[in-house]
Structure 1
């Protein structure tokens, strides 16, 4: 991990420490962890956002993709379905479309594995 990435992680961690309810900073930090291959840390942060701020629509796609990477396909599919409901409520059409596409891909993969 570069010193620039470490600095960014430290800055985001400070922001979260000063404001534990800051979903945006948690989300940004989770993305940094995922990018650095620290999936467990990313998952903890994404799941924390999901439980404390379930209307934070961006978390559904990224946590779902992380579940897919960890081979938790049914959990990913369930998450995409919940995210679609949130996106529809918030009239976030682009996010809804991305979630529907991700759901279709994961369902196809699940079907292929079961046959």
Structure 2
């Protein structure tokens, strides 16, 4: 890990400590952990955002992809479906499209595995 990454992580962690409800900083920190391959810390942060701020629509795609990487395909599928509904309700068309594409790809993969 570079010193840049370390300082970014420390800065984000400080922001979260000062404002535990800051979904944006948690999301940014989760992305940093994921980039470094620390899927456990990333998952914990993404899941925390999901439970405390379920309207934070960006978390659905990234946590879904993380679940796919962890071979939790059913969880990813459920998450994408929920995210599509929330993105639609918020009129976030680009996010909705990304989630639909991720869901479609996942369902193809799941079908291929079961045959």
* TM-score normalised by the chain length of structure 1: 1.00
**How many pairs align?**
115
Alpha-carbon distance in 2 for matches of 1:38, 1:28: 14
Moved beyond 3 Å, runs of 4+ = none
Alpha-carbon distance in 1 for matches of 2:94, 2:73: 22
Alpha-carbon distance in 1 for matches of 2:37, 2:66: 11
Look up the match of 1:37.
Answer: 37
* TM-score normalised by the chain length of structure 2: 1.00
What is the aligned-residue RMSD (CA, Å)? 0.3
Q: Does the residue aligned with 2:20 lie in a helix, a strand or coil?
A: coil
Question: Structure 1: 5+ residue runs without aligned partners?
Answer: none
Alpha-carbon distance in 1 for matches of 2:44, 2:103: 22
Question: Structure 2: 5+ residue runs without aligned partners?
Answer: none
Look up the match of 1:22.
Answer: 22
Mapping for residues 29-108 of structure 1, pairs under 5 Å: 29-108=29-108
